[in-house]
Amino acid sequence: MTEQTTPRRRFLKLAGGAATAMVFLGSLPSRVWAALPHLDAATNATAKALNYVEDNSKAPAPHKAGQACSNCVHFQGKAGEAYGPCAIFPGFDVNAKGWCAGYQAKS
């Protein structure tokens, strides 16, 4: 006896596959979905004008020790993430260890 594929059986198969996919996708970190291109001062005129650097230890004056994107009021990434969005550079992720002249300490 062969198994017939009824519409109900087909629906249950698809629903099961969709549920499995949802569980898998839900387990991924949210940043996988929203990853933006990394800001690059070599190709972004605003970043260059604001002296953006990926490594704050290489930032020019008026940078002060301890200043980094991760503790800037404009940084919108989550704590512990290597990159995150910045309100000054929409459409790009900045390095949490980076810095630019738009830096403002979080209060």
Give the footprint of ligand SF4 on this chain (CB under 6 A): 52, 69, 72, 74-75, 86, 88, 94, 98-100, 102-103
Return the number of the residue (25 or 53) whose C-beta is nearest ligand SF4. Answer: 53
Q: Smallest gap, in angstroms, from Cβ of residue 29 to ligand SF4?
A: 20
Return the number of the residue (19 or 49) whose C-beta is nearest ligand SF4. Answer: 49
Q: Which of 47, 46, 49 is nearest to 95 (CA)?
A: 47
Determine which helix (DSSP H) or strand (DSSP E) holds 48, and give its type and residue range.
helix 45-49
Q: Smallest gap, in angstroms, from Cβ of residue 28 to ligand SF4?
A: 25
Q: Smallest gap, in angstroms, from Cβ of residue 85 to ligand SF4?
A: 9
d(CA 55, CA 2): 65
Task: Determine whether 65 is exposed, middle or buried from the number of CB atoms within 10 Å of its CB (0-12, 13-18, 19+).
Answer: exposed
